[in-house]
Amino acid sequence: MDIFLTNSRSRTKERFTPLDPANVRVYVCGPTVYDRAHLGNARPAIVFDVLSRLLRHVYGAEHVTYVRNFTDVDDKINARAAETGRDIAEITEETIGWYLDDMAAVGVAEPDHMPRATRYIAQMVVMIADLIAKGHAYEAEGHVLFAVESYADYGALSGRSLEDMIAGARVEVAPYKRNPMDFVLWKPSAAGLPGWDSPWGRGRPGWHIECSAMAQDLLGASFDIHGGGNDLMFPHHENEIAQSCCAHPEGSFAKVWLHNEMLQVEGRKMSKSLGNFFTVRDLLDQGIPGEVIRFVMLSTHYRKPMDWTAEKAEVAEKKLRRWRRLAKGVNPGAALHDVLAPLADDLNTSLVLDRLDSLARAIEMNQTDPTKARFAPSIEDFVATANLLGLLLPGTHDWSMQGFDLSGLAARLAEIRATAMETKDFSEVDRLKAALVAAGVEVRMSKAGVELVPGAGFDASALEGLE
């Protein structure tokens, strides 16, 4: 299966040809760990999890190396420690645990490597010293800065003009900079802040150098794919390219660059001031299953802005309840090539979901009325194809009954039954009972009352409007 990806650097869709098919290498920028992952943080995690699953499907699980980092040294973390009085290491350790739990809840598998910036300080110091030696960086007032003018291709990724880049760099203008676009590789640390000894004094790394050092150490001077949100394209990814290519001119750094678009909530930018800011944990605690969150995320192409709405979550939940009813107790077969074709075409997950839902309806029709049989794959192959999107995974918790309370329907049936005992008209009892049975609910009626028990084929969506 050929894979086509839209390379942000060339701005074209290209056939993906790995540098080494036996060792396909991917690096994705991970979170800065000072607080719960918000909904927007989940989008790149899910997008590149799907990419990883596709690459493993095509090239073999043992031939793909996927790296996603944790930024655990940052001014935001320092500010959170000062605000709470808590130890920095305690905050980062707790937040990493939260992130992994929340991403697991939305079906994101852990990458092969999850390096932490604080464990790669030595590699960063070596890279910075090398950049100084090669004339690409300079020391000034305890800082080390990358000299942007020393790299002729600076700006090629983002396509920004010199004026645009200078405007974007003005917030970092300092008297010790030779050029306002020069960016920090190393900065001094005051007492009470994290710091490490270096040739330039006690200090800590700038943000950009960490990814270059970790990618070089784990994937080499050249690797296949670098991913992240499009908000990172400038300056973060632009700066990564500059420092990496200057430090290791024998390599090309990342061959393909992939960027996902940003997320909105109900048509508006997510913001605490607008009251539409959600963490992943907020939604999980509201009873929205992680698989539903994943489905909604995948229903929009990764290069388009994604709008989270309550309506989309409701639609996703209904579809997944039906799919889970079909998949219950089924072992995955072989993924369907025709259904997966859009996934290999620049990760068109929304089209794959549409095709899967059409197949689910065909399977359901064949089960309910064989006389109207139409083409449908085996349930096993349907499940295997959904698995490649990180859905209906074997061994995952079946949430399809989660939060669904049958007590209201039980009370209503008991009330109708009591009336029927007096009028001798059991038509309404029979109608409601038939609807419950059709939805996979076992109806137990006795002198003691009415008990409703979800069965193996329980489909909560079929009960809508019965109460």
pLDDT tens, 140-196?
999 999 999 999 999 999 998 767 777 755 546 688 899 989 999 999 999 889 999
| Domain stops at, among 260, 292, 321 | 260
**Residue 391 contacts residue 295 (beta carbons within 8 Å):** yes
In the prediction, which pLDDT does 406 show? Answer: 80
3-state secondary structure of 246: helix
CA pair distance 420, 410, nearest whole angstrom: 15
Rounded CA gap, 360 and 378, in Å?
A: 10
Whether residues 224 and 298 fall in one domain: no
Q: For residue 307, what are the domain limits?
A: 264-387
The sign of the dihedral angle between the CA atoms of 392, 394, 396, 399 is: positive
Within this chain, do residues 441 and 378 fall inside the same structural domain, yes or no? no
Percent of the chain with pLDDT over 90: 73
Indicate the residue type of 438. Answer: A
- CA 430 → CA 403, 437, 465, distances in Å? 26, 10, 16
Query: Quick check: 187 and 142 in contact, CB under 8 A?
Result: yes
pLDDT mean over 286-308:
96
Domain assignment present for 397: no
Spatial CA neighbour of 441 closest among 415, 463, 411, 414? 463
Over residues 294-323, the mean pLDDT reads 95
How would residue 455 be classed by pLDDT, with cut points 50, 70 and 90? low
**383 and 433 within one domain:** no
Q: Is residue 393 part of a domain?
A: no
Which of 353, 387, 421 terminates a domain? The answer is 387
Residues 372 and 294 in one domain: yes
From CA 248, how far away is CA 253, in angstroms rounded?
8
Amino acid 407: pLDDT: 79
pLDDT grade for 397, boundaries at 50, 70 and 90 = low
Question: Are 210 and 272 part of one and the same domain?
Answer: no
- Determine, yes or no, domain membership for 278: yes
Instruction: Please indicate, yes or no, whether residues 124 and 145 belong to a single structural domain of this protein.
Output: yes
Query: What phi, psi does 309 have (nearest 5°)?
Result: -135, 155
Whether pLDDT at 361 is above 70 = yes
> What is the overall mean pLDDT for the chain?
91
| 169 within a domain of the structure (yes/no) | yes
- Same domain for 126 and 72: yes
Is residue 130 located within the same domain as residue 279?
no
pLDDT of residue 271: 81
Choosing from 331, 359, 387, the residue where a domain stops is 387
The answer to whether position 138 is within a domain reads: yes
- Out of 144-148, 383-387, 412-416, pick the least confident: 412-416
> Do 46 and 110 share a domain, yes or no?
yes
Which CATH number do you get for residue 69? 3.40.50.620
Q: Give a yes or no: residue 402 inside a domain.
A: no
- 328 lies in the same domain as 444: no
401 falls within a domain: no
- Give the chain's domain count: 3
For residue 137, name the pLDDT band (cuts at 50, 70, 90): very high
Q: Which two tokens stand for residue 192?
A: 């009470």
Helix count and strand count (H, E) for the chain:
15, 15
Strand 203-205 and strand 183-188: the pairing is antiparallel
Classify residue 49: in a domain, yes or no.
yes
Q: Is the pLDDT of residue 403 over 70?
A: no
pTM for this one? 0.86
- Is the pLDDT confidence value at 329 over 70? yes
87 SS3 class: coil
Clarify whether residues 298 and 334 are in a common domain: yes
Per the DSSP assignment, residues forming a β-bridge with 362 are none
311 with 219, same domain: the answer is: no
